[in-house]
Structure 1
Amino acid sequence: MSGAPPENRQPWRVFHATGAAPEGPPDPLPEPPPWRRFRGGPALPTPPDDEAAARRRLGHVDPVPQLDEETIDVVNAALVLRRPLLVTGPPGVGKSTLAYLISRELGLGRVLEWNIVSRTALRDGLYAYDAIGRAQAIGTWRAGLRAALEPEGNARGDDGQAPLTLGDFITLGSLGTALLPYDRPRVLLVDELDKSDIDLPNDLLHVLENGSYDIPELVRDAAESACVHISDPGLHAVVRHGRVECREFPVVVITSNGEREFPAAFRRRCLPLEMRSPTREQLLTMVQSHFRALPSHAEVLVDHFITRAQSGGTHSLDQLLNAVQLTTNGEFEVDGPGRRLIEVLLRDLSKGR
Structure 2
Amino acid sequence: MSAQEQTALNGWHVFHGTGREPAVPPRLPAPPPWRRFRGGPAQPPPPDDPDGALRRLGPGEVTPRLSADETDTVNAALLLRRPLLITGPPGVGKSTLAYVISRELGLGRVLEWNIVSRTTLRDGLYEHDAMGRAQAIAAWQAGLRSSAPARIEETPEGATSGADDKTAVTLQARQLPPPLGDFIALGPLGTALLPYDRPRVLLVDELDKSDIDLPNDLLHVLENGSYDVPELVRDAAEEARVHTSDPGGQAVVRGGRVECREFPVVVITSNGERQFPAAFRRRCLPLEMRTPTREQLLALVEGHLGARPRGTEDLVDLFVQRVQSGGTHSLDQLLNAVQMTTAGGFQADGDGRKLVEMLLRDLAKGR
Q: TM-score range by the shorter chain?
A: over 0.9
2:98 alignment partner in structure 1: 99
> 2:189 maps to what in 1?
175
Q: 1:79 to 1:16 in 2, by over 3 A?
A: same
Instruction: Structure 1 unaligned segments of length 5 or more: list them.
Output: 1-6
Aligned residue for 1:228? 242
Partner letter of residue 343 of structure 1? E
Q: Is residue 63–residue 296 contact of structure 2 (8 Å, CA) maintained in 1?
A: no
Cα contact 1:296–1:327 (8 A) shared by 2: no
1:196 matches 2:210: yes
Q: Return the offset for 1:318.
A: 0.5
Is the alpha carbon distance of 1:220 and 1:158 closer, same or farther for their aligned partners in structure 2, counting shifts above 3 Å?
A: closer
Q: Which residue of 1 aligns with 2:330?
A: 316
**Aligned partner letter, 2:365:** K
2:106 counterpart letter in structure 1 = G
The answer to whether the 8 A contact 1:59-1:290 is kept is yes
CA distance in 1 between counterparts of 2:280 and 2:357 reads 41
Structure 1 letter corresponding to 2:129: D
User: Could you tell me how far 1:84 is from its partner in structure 2?
Assistant: 0.2
1:52 — aligned with what?
A: 51
Instruction: Please report how far the alpha carbon of residue 42 of structure 1 lies from its aligned counterpart in structure 2 after TM superposition.
Output: 2.6
Q: How has the CA–CA distance of structure 1 residues 8 and 271 changed in structure 2, closer, same or farther, with 3 Å as cutoff?
A: closer
The aligned runs of 1:297-336 (5 Å cut-off) are: 297-336=311-350
Matched residues in 2 for 1:190 and 1:275: separation?
Answer: 16
Q: Which moved more, 1:292-301 or 1:336-345?
A: 336-345
Give, in angstroms, the shift of residue 332 of structure 1: 2.0
Please point out which of 213, 228, 243 is paired with 2:257.
Answer: 243
> In structure 2, how many angstroms separate the alpha carbons of the residues matched to 1:185 and 1:261?
28
Aligned equivalents of 2:186, 2:171: Cα separation in 1: 32
Measure the CA separation in 2 of the matches of 1:257 and 1:287: 23
Query: Where in structure 2 are the equivalents of 1:153-302 lying within 5 Å?
Result: 160=174, 162-302=176-316
- Structure 2 residue 115 is the aligned partner of structure 1 residue 116: yes
* Corresponding residue number in structure 2 for 1:20: 20
Distance 2:139 2:172 in 1: 8
TM-score between both structures, scaled by the size of structure 2: 0.89
Preserved CA contact (<8 Å) 1:17 1:67: yes
Partners of 1:9 and 1:104 in 2: CA distance? 23
2:329–2:363 contact (8 Å) kept in structure 1: yes
Cα separation, 1, equivalents of 2:10 and 2:321: 43
For each residue in 1:273-320, what CA deviation from the matched residue of structure 2 results, as whole angstroms up to 9, or x when unmatched? Answer: 111011111111111111111111111111110001110121000000
Q: Which residue identity lines up with residue 224 of structure 1 in the other structure? A: E
CA pair 11-17 structure 1, distance change in 2 beyond 3 A: same
Residues of 1 paired with 2:62 and 2:297: CA distance?
15
Pair 1:10–1:68, CA change in 2 (3 A): closer
Q: Residues 91 and 314 of structure 1 are in contact (CA less than 8 Å); yes or no, is this contact kept in structure 2?
A: yes
Contact 2:37 2:261 in 1 (8 A): yes
Structure 1 contact 75–85 (Cα < 8 Å) conserved: yes
| Structure 1 residues 288 and 44, CA gap change in structure 2 (3 angstroms) | same
Indicate conservation of the 8 Å contact 1:20/1:63, yes or no.
yes
Asked if 2 retains the 8 angstrom alpha-carbon contact of 1:20 and 1:61, the reply is no
Q: State the distance in 1 between where 2:9 and 2:292 align.
A: 33
More displaced stretch, 305-314 vs 155-164: 155-164
**1:348 Cα offset (Å):** 0.3
Alpha-carbon distance between aligned partners in 1 of 2:64 and 2:328, rounded to the nearest angstrom:
25
Whole-Å Cα distance in 1 between the matches of residues 199 and 219 of structure 2? 19
Does the residue aligned with 1:101 lie in a helix, a strand or coil?
Answer: helix
Superposed CA offset, 1:210-254 (max 9, x none): 000001111111111000000001010000011000000000000
- Tell me the matched-pair count: 343
